[in-house]
Amino acid sequence: MNAEKSTRHSLRIALFGFGTVGQSVARILTELRPEGLELTQIFNRNVARKKVDWVGADVVWSEDADAVLNSGVDVVVELMGGLEPAGGWIERALKSGKSVVTANKKLIAYRGVELEKMAAEKGGHIKYGAAVAGGIPVIPGLEQGLAGDQVNRIEGILNGTCNFILSEMEQGADFNAVLAEAQKRGYAEADPTEDVGGFDARAKLAILMRLAMRVHVNPDEISPRPITAVAPIDFSYARDLGCTIRQISRAECVGGHVAASVGPSLVPLTSPIAWSRAMMNMVMLSGRFGGDVIFSGHGAGGSPTAVAVVSDLIALASGSRRVEIASERAAIGTESEVAHYIRFRVKDRPGIVADIAGALAKEKININAIVQKPGCPSDDLPFVVTVEPCKASALKRALDAIKQCDYLVEEPLDMQILSA
């Protein structure tokens, strides 16, 4: 065994992207020097402004992607993100027999099946443990620890930026102020749409569905709901209902069909998901045989994500490969029946509750409770209606009818209520 170790050369690594995560990966490789790994090249646009003196002098800095891809590196670590040009670089690397490690959740969500097949055909591997939940080993856990189970439900917090914003709002902060602070700290991009709009979490959910539930779906079939409409009054009402608010990604198999959703939801304070704050992520998986499993930890940030990237590299250097998990193409073809929280803001007048109750009754939706706080102005009166479990499509039809009423100050806010 010792002779084999001494003759096996270290994997030569090209790092594509020297931003927050890329720098953390380079720092780990430079300071910890994991056995079998050698950082040889760093690619970045305008690379001169990125150079640092703590990277080894033998590392080649380049802004020529073609030259790096055509070099003798064994593994390309892609940390640039997005579908292109990252997708083209990864495809070229795999077709040349190189392996790839990436944190690119969007690319894996849309093209993961295709890229894995490409890697297998050319003798390489593609690993993406950092693509979901940053430094939490959810993907390795699914590939190795839970591959023997049949997971039928996924529920959790997959976006650290939204979790930071909502947990700060829970303490009384204003959305815009918290978003600005998240951008200042580097948690959110200048354009935060991917995060607050739910698109980032949607891509991660699609990846988890393929690995855990064995179905691959087009992420575009999942319609995310943004957190931007959540207001301080909603946290006040949520507390009255024994809940808080988090951005929840959820998928389940119902009668052989697949349901999935992403958006702000009410979470009972007794649920472990309610305990997740700041940049933490949490994933709860329900298996047919193994029951519930929870993964929790730092889901975002340069260092936690870099740990997952380097762990994938160490696995490659050790000769390990991805567990082949077969999946079938599926469409989002059903709806979960869950309870809902609906917050209205109205110009008060007689008959409003009767109108709302009538629209809900027409869709056979039962009201569970009506909650109204005292002391609010009559020309902008917020109140909440909670309804028993129903299909989202039926609730949408009822709310579409209510939206035609002239007493509304703004469109109603609808959020799912998770079960305890």
Dist CA 394 CA 373 (whole Å):
27
CATH of domain 338-417: 3.30.70.260
What is the mean pLDDT of the segment spanning 373-393? Answer: 93
- Asked if residue 328 has pLDDT above 90, the reply is no
The CB-side HSE value for 44 (13 A sphere, CA atoms) comes to 19
Output the CA–CA distances (angstroms, integers) from residue 155 to 17, 165, 211, 249, 386, in the order listed: 31, 19, 14, 6, 21
Phi, psi dihedral angles at 292 (to 5 degrees): -85, 140
Average model confidence (pLDDT) across the chain: 92
For residue 394, what is the enclosing H or E element?
helix 392-402
The pTM of this model reads: 0.93
Provide Rg for the chain, Cα atoms: 24
Q: Given its phi and psi angles, is residue 114 left (phi above 0), alpha (psi -120 to 50 degrees) or beta?
A: alpha
Closest of 410, 408, 343 to residue 373, by C-alpha: 343
Bridge partners (DSSP) of residue 283 are 156, 295
The pLDDT tens digits of the residues spanning 252-284 come to: 987 778 999 999 999 999 999 999 888 899 999
Q: What is the pLDDT of residue 8?
A: 60
Q: What is residue 395's predicted lDDT score, i.e. its pLDDT?
A: 96
Fold category of 2-127 in CATH: Rossmann fold (3.40.50)
Q: Which of 204, 362, 391, 396 is catalytic?
A: 204
Question: What residue segments make up the domains of the chain, in order of their start?
Answer: 2-127, 138-298+321-329, 338-417
**Would you state the pLDDT for residue 327?**
83
pLDDT for res 237: 96
Q: To which H or E segment does residue 205 belong?
A: helix 199-212
E-strand spans in 54-131?
60-62, 75-78, 99-102, 126-127
DSSP states of 146-191 = STTS-EEEEEEE--HHHHHHHHHHHTT--HHHHHHHHHHTTSS-SS
Query: What CA–CA distance (Å, rounded) separates 42 from 77?
Result: 10
Q: Could you check whether 2-127 and 338-417 share the same CATH topology?
A: no
Give the pLDDT score at 2: 43
State the amino acid at position 81 in one-letter form.
Answer: G
Q: Which residues contact 171 (CB under 8 A, 6 or more apart)?
A: none
Please state which of the four CATH numbers 2.40.30.10, 3.30.360.10, 3.90.550.10, 3.20.20.70 is assigned to the domain occupying 138-298+321-329.
Answer: 3.30.360.10
Active site residue 122: no
Q: Which stretches within 216-301 are classed as H helix? A: 232-240
Q: What pLDDT score does 5 carry? A: 43
Q: How far apart are CA 135 and CA 132, in angstroms?
A: 8
DSSP 142: I
Report percent pLDDT > 70 for the chain. 98
pLDDT of 143-184, one tens digit each?
888 989 999 999 999 999 999 999 999 999 999 999 999 898
The residues that bridge with 62 in the sheet, in sequence order, are 43
